[in-house]
């Protein structure tokens, strides 16, 4: 057992024993009004975004209450650990997800695309406010380290009870991945207020276009101090990765995906509980082919190869487990968690085709194991001040093994032999450690003004050693009963993702058809930035809420990522400087059986002078970027989403859309692709059948206009291949609860 694990285990045991016989202290009800639960999604300021159960919802003396109220109190205590003063927040609850065209069969990245400032990209990638990725995922308050392939396709929307998406100037508690924080509260199986212990679940199936077959099942329940929730689903279709052509059906694009998640909780006593959660993902992809390509190299006596027959494949696996002790001790709420995440990506080339088209056939194996310790505490000092403090430690072990077959070549890259040679390029294994501490005070200055100020310190010891002290300040001012202003400043420190870094021995490939464009390779550095954010939320009447938010970010060592090889793995690099700015408008309307939302975001993200990972760039491109501000490849001027939902006598009709003005392409990202949109429709009704009982049936049409649109065209900085959005798809969903 490592020293970190022993220390954390001792801390958990000590707190658990301390809890024995200690009554739960009464918690003050938060001053923040609960977010409405009946709209598609909500954009809120920090004072209107709490999702905790208020103290008024729990009756009687806590020491004499049953497990339902104990669980509610502990949920409230856990929510008190995470402030959001000064940040912008967008909320999706279970009902909001059900109102999406595919309901809970919607992938997580597609759910997040309905939030303002989120831009769509290929391979399930998301960009938030001009950042490439940089999204932190928290489940029940615990940070889950990012996977190599990203969590957009690794987590399942079926686990969500409530999702808060935070952006802007975040409080000191949030570090490392700060463009957006996806804070998921999972379903738990705990009974609702007034209900007895129960068990239940559901089985479902979504099927339709492109060979889609997506069965799912979940099971939940409670028994005395125990509660649990388990879910699993399997997905197969023929659009696993974006089609490199505009045709309806991709060639060689089958995928098989399996996901599972579980949550188990045990109430130790009235003021503490022990919980364990886990998740697994096993995704397999065929890499789709583009017909009509001409081989550039000759292998032995083979001079031709039909690109339709390429057989490249990729497997992505992720699994995580977290053990948490959470509760309250006197005036202090706490949660201490031990976690581990393992992630891997394995790319298998076509041994003949890759050599003939690319001059290299590389077998790539990447993996990363992360052990984490997280502790968060919240202490109410008095009616005006709440002190929050905590720590985070991670210990990562990235592995990168490459075995490449290449041709010998002259100084100009021309093939000199038709017999390939084999090169082994296995990166030296390192241990990447990250340490973080934070302290902050939420000060209720008066009944209108709330201030959250704090400081966090971070240190990373990986490929390079770096550290930073980061002040944070957030303010929320309740100008009137209907108008709320917020503003914030954050100093951010963003280490490069260790799971994506693979040291390359440039000299190994000199004199081959895989020689790199340049021979400069500086170590990737941590990004440092100053972030300013301000916004206003205005409620008009009882049903309409409008929001406006503006932000600016000044960056040193701006982190970006690119796909520089055949495998769908991104490699990080730095621009010396960056500047990002934008503005977002949101509108939400909810009345009776009708709800609607609208988001519009404008953003500009620029970088100058590539200072790390130079070996992936042509010298001409490097020279240009060194003297010019260039758009980042994921920069998109406008992004918008919106939707409506109407329940007519038990039948719900829905429509929504996603719009983008086009990502960047061509030399140094000097131009943008055409604008695109996707309109989606759905109808959903629950039937009460004599033999089966309640049965939910859903019909959905995705990209109903069958518009062919291009996300990427294969040009631009770090762009590997063309990708087109999926054509029209028709789907049937059936779910049976029991």
Instruction: Enumerate residues 6+ apart whose C-beta is below 8 A from 617.
Output: 517, 518, 610, 625, 717
Instruction: Enumerate residues 6+ apart whose C-beta is below 8 A from 48.
Output: 32, 33, 35, 484, 537
Instruction: Enumerate residues 6+ apart whose C-beta is below 8 A from 294.
Output: none
pLDDT for residue 351 is more than 70: yes
Which residues face 544 on adjacent strands? Answer: 540, 589
pLDDT for residue 289 is more than 60: yes
**Higher pLDDT pick, 294 / 4:** 294
The band of 17, judged by pLDDT with boundaries at 50, 70 and 90, is very low
The band of 48, judged by pLDDT with boundaries at 50, 70 and 90, is very low
| Tokens (6 digits) for 508 | 């190994």
pLDDT tens figures, 595-611: 999 999 999 999 999 99
Instruction: Tell me how crowded residue 542 is: count the other CB atoms within 10 A of its CB.
Output: 7
Q: Give the per-residue pLDDT at 43.
A: 47
**Higher pLDDT pick, 426 / 354:** 354
pLDDT for residue 52 is more than 50: no
pLDDT for residue 285 is more than 50: yes
Rg for the chain, CA atoms, rounded: 26
Answer for the pair 25, 330: CB distance below 8 angstroms, yes or no.
yes
pLDDT for residue 591 is more than 70: yes
- pLDDT above 70 covers what percent of the chain? 89
**Angle at the Cα of 220 from the Cα atoms of 25 and 736, rounded to 5 degrees:** 140
Answer for the pair 242, 711: CB distance below 8 angstroms, yes or no.
yes
Mean predicted confidence (pLDDT) in 508-532? 87
Round to whole Å and give the CA distance between 92 and 75.
18
**Angle at the Cα of 535 from the Cα atoms of 531 and 539, rounded to 5 degrees:** 160
The band of 66, judged by pLDDT with boundaries at 50, 70 and 90, is low
Round to whole Å and give the CA distance between 351 and 302.
13
- Which residue, chain included where needed, has tokens 């997800």? 97
Kind and range of the H or E run holding 640 = strand 638-648
Q: Give the per-residue pLDDT at 59.
A: 37
Q: Give the per-residue pLDDT at 41.
A: 47
Instruction: Tell me how crowded residue 423 is: count the other CB atoms within 10 A of its CB.
Output: 17
The total number of structural domains in the chain stands at 1
pLDDT tens figures, 526-565: 999 999 999 999 999 999 999 999 999 999 999 998 887 6
Mean predicted confidence (pLDDT) in 640-649? 96
**Higher pLDDT pick, 2 / 64:** 2
The band of 194, judged by pLDDT with boundaries at 50, 70 and 90, is low
Q: Give the per-residue pLDDT at 56.
A: 37
Instruction: Specify the DSSP class assigned to residue 173.
Output: T
Round to whole Å and give the CA distance between 129 and 152.
17
pLDDT averaged over every residue in the chain? 87
Q: Give the per-residue pLDDT at 498.
A: 82
Q: Give the per-residue pLDDT at 151.
A: 52
pLDDT tens figures, 400-425: 899 999 999 998 889 999 999 999 98
Mean predicted confidence (pLDDT) in 170-180? 94
Q: Give the per-residue pLDDT at 92.
A: 92
Instruction: Tell me how crowded residue 22 is: count the other CB atoms within 10 A of its CB.
Output: 16
The band of 664, judged by pLDDT with boundaries at 50, 70 and 90, is very high
Instruction: Give the range of the structural domain holding residue 733, as residue numbers without chain letter.
Output: 3-737
Mean predicted confidence (pLDDT) in 204-212? 97
Round to whole Å and give the CA distance between 242 and 287.
9
Lowest mean per-residue pLDDT among 69-78, 122-131, 480-489, 616-625: 69-78
The band of 444, judged by pLDDT with boundaries at 50, 70 and 90, is very high
Which residues face 648 on adjacent strands? Answer: 651
pLDDT for residue 189 is more than 90: no
Q: Following DSSP, what letter does each residue of 267-286 receive, concatenated?
A: EEETTEEEEEEEEEEEEEEE
pLDDT for residue 60 is more than 80: no
Closest by Cα among 500, 424, 426, 425 to 462: 500
Pairing of strands 594-610, 638-648: antiparallel
* pTM for this predicted structure: 0.88
Round to whole Å and give the CA distance between 500 and 11.
32
Mean predicted confidence (pLDDT) in 130-142? 92
Q: Give the per-residue pLDDT at 21.
A: 35
Mean predicted confidence (pLDDT) in 67-81? 79
At 329, which CATH number?
2.40.170.20
Round to whole Å and give the CA distance between 183 and 169.
16
Q: Following DSSP, what letter does each residue of 41-68 receive, concatenated?
A: -EEE-GGG-B-SPPGGGS-S-GGG--HH
């Amino acid at each position: 057992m490592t020293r970190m694990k022993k220390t954390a285990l001792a801390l958990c045991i000590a707190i658990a024993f301390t809890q024995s016989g200690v009554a739960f202290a009464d918690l003050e009800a938060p001053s923040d009004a609960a977010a409405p639960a009946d709209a598609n999604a909500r954009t809120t300021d920090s004072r209107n975004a709490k999702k905790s159960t208020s103290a008024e919802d729990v009756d009687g003396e806590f020491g004499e209450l049953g497990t339902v109220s104990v669980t509610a109190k502990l949920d409230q205590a856990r929510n008190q650990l995470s402030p959001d003063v000064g940040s912008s927040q967008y909320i999706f609850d279970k009902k909001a997800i059900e109102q999406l065209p595919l309901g809970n069969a919607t992938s997580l990245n597609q759910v997040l695309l309905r939030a303002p400032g989120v831009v769509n990209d290929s391979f399930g990638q998301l960009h938030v406010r001009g950042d490439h990725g940089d999204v932190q995922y928290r489940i029940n308050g615990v940070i889950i380290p990012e996977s190599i392939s990203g969590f957009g396709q690794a987590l399942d929307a079926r686990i969500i009870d409530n999702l808060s998406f935070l952006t802007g100037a975040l409080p000191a508690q949030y570090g490392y991945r700060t463009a957006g924080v996806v804070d998921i509260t999972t379903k738990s199986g705990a009974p609702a207020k007034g209900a007895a212990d129960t068990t239940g679940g559901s089985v479902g199936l979504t099927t339709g276009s492109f060979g889609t077959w997506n069965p799912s099942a979940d099971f939940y329940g409670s028994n005395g101090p125990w509660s649990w929730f388990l879910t699993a689903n399997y997905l197969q279709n023929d659009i696993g990765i974006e089609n490199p052509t505009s045709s309806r059906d991709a060639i060689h694009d089958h995928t098989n995906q399996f996901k599972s998640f579980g949550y188990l909780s045990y109430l130790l006593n009235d003021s503490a509980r022990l919980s364990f959660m886990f998740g697994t993902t096993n995704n397999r992809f065929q890499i789709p082919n583009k017909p009509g390509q001409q081989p550039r190299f000759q292998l032995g006596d083979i001079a031709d190869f039909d690109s339709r027959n390429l057989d490249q494949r990729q497997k992505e696996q992720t699994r995580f487990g977290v053990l948490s002790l959470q509760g309250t001790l006197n005036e202090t709420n706490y949660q201490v968690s031990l976690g581990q995440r393992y992630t891997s990506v394995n790319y298998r080339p076509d041994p003949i085709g890759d050599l003939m088209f690319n001059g290299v056939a590389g077998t790539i194996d990447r993996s990363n194991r992360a052990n984490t310790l997280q502790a968060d505490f919240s202490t109410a000092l008095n009616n005006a001040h709440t002190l929050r403090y905590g720590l985070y430690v991670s210990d990562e072990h990235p592995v990168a093994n490459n075995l490449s077959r290449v041709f010998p070549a002259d100084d100009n890259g021309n093939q000199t032999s038709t017999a390939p040679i084999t090169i082994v390029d296995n990166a030296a294994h390192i241990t990447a450690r990250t340490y973080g501490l934070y302290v902050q005070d939420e000060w209720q200055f008066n009944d209108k003004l709330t201030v959250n100020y704090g400081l966090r310190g971070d240190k990373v010891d990986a490929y390079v050693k770096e550290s930073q002290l980061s002040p944070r300040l957030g303010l929320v001012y309740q100008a009137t009963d209907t108008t709320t202003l917020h503003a914030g400043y954050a100093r951010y420190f963003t280490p490069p993702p260790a799971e994506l870094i693979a040291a390359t021995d440039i000299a190994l490939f000199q004199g081959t058809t895989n020689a790199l464009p340049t021979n400069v390779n500086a170590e990737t550095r941590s990004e440092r930035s100053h972030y300013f954010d301000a916004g206003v939320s205005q409620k008009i009447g009882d049903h309409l809420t409008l929001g406006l938010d503006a932000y600016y970010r000044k960056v040193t060592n701006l982190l970006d990522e690119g796909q520089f090889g055949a495998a769908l793995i991104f490699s990080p690099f730095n621009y010396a400087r960056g500047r990002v700015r934008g503005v977002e408008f949101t509108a939400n309307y909810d009345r009776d059986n009708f709800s609607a939302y609208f988001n519009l975001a404008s953003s500009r993200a620029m970088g100058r002078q590539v200072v790390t990972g130079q070996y992936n760039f042509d010298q001409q491109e490097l020279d240009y970027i060194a003297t010019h501000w260039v758009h980042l490849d994921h920069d998109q001027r406008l992004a918008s989403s919106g939707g409506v939902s109407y329940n007519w006598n038990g039948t719900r009709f829905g429509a929504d859309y996603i719009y983008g003005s086009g990502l960047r392409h061509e030399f140094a990202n000097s131009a943008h692709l055409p604008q695109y949109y996707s309109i989606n429709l759905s109808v959903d009704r629950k039937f009460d059948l004599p033999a089966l009982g309640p049965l939910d049936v859903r019909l959905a049409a995705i990209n109903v206009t069958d518009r062919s649109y291009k996300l990427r065209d294969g040009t631009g900085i770090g762009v590997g291949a063309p990708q087109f959005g999926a054509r029209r798809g028709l789907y049937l969903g059936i779910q049976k609860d029991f």
